[in-house]
């Protein structure tokens, strides 16, 4: 029902925009270097071959490896340890106003000549929060009781997620500000899209690898089956 309602809202609002919003015909389109899709890709290759851009792309493709497990696996492991999914979903509600306010606050610090300074400063704190997330997963079965989990455990989880959001958005806004700053205005759309795509890829591939590695790196023990191990999915099933 929730998805159906918002799907209907999106369809209605998008249709209204399409029919009711008129384009401003008086605006003169800015001169661009590219005239077609072939030119655009040729330009992209010429940009990415630049030594500074290539080095930067390599850095942002690997900069989020240290956060991949904490970002991708913590929620799943908390559910595995017995934290109800609906409770975790509710914990995301207090994060919404924080996610709205944070970019506004952080943008003040990334508007200067060196926006990546914020990125560098936030990185060690985000790495430390990864260790703290691991502690939350380890702590979950220790505090669990028949009625579920105590309120103070949820309070610590909310605080941890809030601190994580601060570091995450500090890095996100900083990298976006840097991409906007270095992009050539003449080809700004192409240039910035390339850098933002690489930045997004740098956050997604480590999370995918982390999820893939969860099963082979998880230590399992068989209860009531001497001489057997549960290292593989087939063995666990048996």
Cβ neighbours of residue 70 under 8 Å, at least 6 residues apart? 129, 130, 133, 134, 164
Q: What is the pLDDT of residue 26?
A: 66
The 3-state DSSP class for residue 188 equals helix
How many whole angstroms separate alpha carbon 6 and alpha carbon 17?
A: 16
Dihedral sign computed on CA atoms, order 83, 132, 73, 141: negative
Cβ-contact 34, 187 below 8 angstroms: yes
Count Cβ atoms within 10 A of the Cβ of residue 167 and give its class: 0-12 exposed, 13-18 middle, 19 or more buried: buried
Q: What is the pLDDT of residue 109?
A: 86
The per-residue pLDDT for range 154-195, each reduced to its tens digit, is: 999 999 999 999 999 999 999 999 988 888 777 767 888 888
Question: Mean pLDDT: which of 31-35, 93-97, 106-110, 203-207 is highest?
Answer: 203-207
Mean pLDDT for the stretch of residues 60-71: 92
Count Cβ atoms within 10 A of the Cβ of residue 107 and give its class: 0-12 exposed, 13-18 middle, 19 or more buried: middle
Answer whether residue 125 shows pLDDT above 90.
Answer: yes
Q: Which residues, in sequence order, are bridge partners of residue 145?
A: 148
Number of H helices and E strands in the chain, helices first, is: 10, 0
Q: What is the pLDDT of residue 31?
A: 56
Give the residue with greater pLDDT, 67 vs 223.
67
Answer whether residue 35 shows pLDDT above 80.
Answer: no
Q: What is the pLDDT of residue 21?
A: 86
């Amino acid at each position: 029902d929730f998805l159906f309602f918002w799907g209907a809202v999106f369809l209605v609002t998008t249709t209204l925009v399409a029919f009711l919003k008129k384009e401003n015909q008086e605006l003169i389109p800015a001169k661009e270097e590219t005239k077609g899709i072939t030119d655009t890709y040729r330009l992209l290759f010429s940009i990415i071959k630049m030594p500074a851009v290539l080095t930067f792309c390599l850095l942002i493709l690997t900069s989020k490896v240290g956060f991949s497990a904490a970002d991708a696996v913590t929620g799943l492991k908390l559910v595995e340890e017995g934290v109800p999914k609906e409770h975790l979903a509710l914990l995301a509600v207090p994060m919404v106003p924080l996610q709205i306010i944070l970019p506004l606050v952080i943008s003040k610090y990334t508007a200067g000549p060196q926006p990546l300074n914020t990125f560098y400063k936030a990185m060690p704190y985000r790495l430390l929060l990864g260790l703290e997330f691991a502690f939350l997963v380890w702590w979950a079965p220790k505090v669990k009781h028949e009625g579920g989990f105590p309120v103070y455990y949820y309070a610590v989880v909310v605080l941890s997620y809030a601190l994580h959001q601060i570091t995450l958005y500090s890095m996100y806004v900083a990298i976006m500000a840097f991409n906007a700053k270095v992009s050539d205005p003449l080809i700004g759309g192409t240039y910035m899209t390339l850098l933002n795509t690489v930045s997004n890829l740098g956050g997604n591939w480590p999370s995918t690898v982390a999820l893939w590695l969860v099963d082979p790196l998880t230590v399992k023990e068989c209860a009531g089956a001497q001489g057997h191990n549960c290292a593989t999915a087939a063995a666990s099933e048996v």
